[in-house]
Amino acid sequence: MVVAVEAGGFLRGLLLLLVYPLLCLLLGDGDGGGGARARAMATVALVGLEEREVARVGRAVMPRFLMAAAAAEGAEAVRAARRSVAVSATLPRVMVEAFLREHVGVDAVVGPELRSVAGVVAGIMDDADAARVAARRLRALLGDEMDQGEADGAGAAVGLVGEGRSGGTVHYLFSRYYCKETFTATEADKRRWRPLPPGGECGGVKPLVFHDGRLAFPPTPSAALAMYAYLPFGVALAVSRIIALSLLPYGRATFLVGALTGVHYRLVGAGHDAAGGGGGGRLYVCNHRTLLDPIVVAAALGKPVTAVTYSLSRVSEMIAPIRTARLTRDREEDRRSMAALLARGDLVVCPEGTTCREGYLLRFSPLFAELGADVNPVALDARVDMFHGTSTTPAAKWMDPFYFMMNPKPSYRVEFLPRAAPAPAAEDGGDSIRVANRVQRQIGEALGFELTGMTRKDKYMMLAGNEGVVAAAAAAAATIKASR
């Protein structure tokens, strides 16, 4: 269901949900029916989709759901092995490989393979073809060890397989040709397993800092049915919330209307007493959770502000109830623009440069600390229960505020922190970096978030395979440099 919705859209997910009862009736759990049902569901979910989009979902979306379903004991077994190969009996390899290799640390992943024509998924390979693909991959990784196993007439590996495989069959890699011993994890064993900590507290597991996709919940059949039943009401609710926020963008009225429509706001501290610098406006620096961050800060302050943005869509700019100004990625030009905006009024800056959904803070750009104004840190936290209001897909970013407002009970927490002094003028920029790090640490302590040195570029390279450069901003920066 995750791949069907994220790669194929809500209509594809609805189709999968409608055929699921039929597949359960025609293909039961016995006599291999469970595996056949999973293969049929994968076919319905994937056929006709672009192969690269399916791979993107497997890399950027699936790790979050697989992390929640994984057990710490499995990660410990991988860490104890000299070499490890993960076998997926039902899910296509492209859906699980990124999580297993990048986060758990296995050396290779074997599973059902997709068959594609001209970059479009045409179905699932049959077992024989998938076995040949797996054999080539394993020989490239374990060539010498496999040759030794062939000479000895038996494998040297140890297998761990789950109980209750369809029809009593297991993957051929667990045969004695490959494994000298195979252990079965029973259902009683699984009930004692510990969940895998998402923050990487389990040694050897890479923490999940970034993930993409719209679904904020595991889409089990019952949960998916509830989502589709809610969608029409959710669309109407999102439109009404956005209209109300546009008409009443400032002050207590925003929070009152939000409470009446199910949005929960929590305000800690007061931002009205913060002193401006040099007679201009006040500089508010906050971490970045969603596109609504500056609007929520303006509502908490009860007055208009200007927000500087980098990749805000034209639709989001048009419906925003506050003023916005685009950055160009040219440092000197952006600093002059921000200084001019600050001289005219209050300015909200999100120095992370992109959103982060998990409990981490990305590196703060020190540009805000060079403006010569007192810095008023604002700690923000946003919670959702059905849809994520952020995306790395350019074509979908204009829908970000709608998805956030479609949640049944979204929440925002705003905390105004003690202000920080600006950085003194210095040619090497060291003081501004120290101020940026201090503000990042101050916000991180208030939220209980972990500090990182990761940037927007790191996020987009992991999730989208690019550096996150917006074409319009890049062109503007090139024009500015050419005119000098």
Helix (H) or strand (E) holding 253: helix 252-260
Return the residue matching tokens 């997926």: 88
φ, ψ of residue 108 to 5 degrees: the values are -155, 155
First to last CA, the chain: 52
Listed as ranges, residues in the chain with pLDDT below 50 are: 166-168, 274-275, 473-484
The pLDDT of residue 484 is 42
Category of 211 on φ-ψ map: left (φ > 0), alpha (ψ -120 to 50) or beta: beta
How many CB atoms within 10 Å of residue 1? Answer: 21
Closest CA to 270 of 300, 304, 305, 307: 300
Q: Are 374 and 422 in contact (CB under 8 A)?
A: yes
The pTM assigned to this predicted structure is 0.86
Angle of helix 51-60 relative to helix 62-69, nearest 10 degrees, comes to 50
What the block records as the tokens of 270 is: 């007061």
- Are residues 173 and 110 in contact, defined by beta-carbon separation less than 8 angstroms? yes
Q: What is the pLDDT of residue 202?
A: 61
Give Dmax over CA atoms of the chain in angstroms. Answer: 84
Identify whether the C-beta of residue 289 lies closer than 8 Å to the C-beta of residue 382.
yes
Q: What is the reported pLDDT for 483?
A: 39
Predicted pLDDT of residue 170: 62
Condensed to tens digits (0 to 9), the pLDDT of residues 251-271 reads 778 888 888 999 999 999 876
In whole angstroms, what is the distance from residue 11 CA to residue 46 CA?
Answer: 13
Query: Cβ(160)–Cβ(185) under 8 Å?
Result: yes
Give the count of beta carbons closer than 10 Å to the beta carbon of residue 48.
11
94 vs 58: CA distance, rounded Å:
6
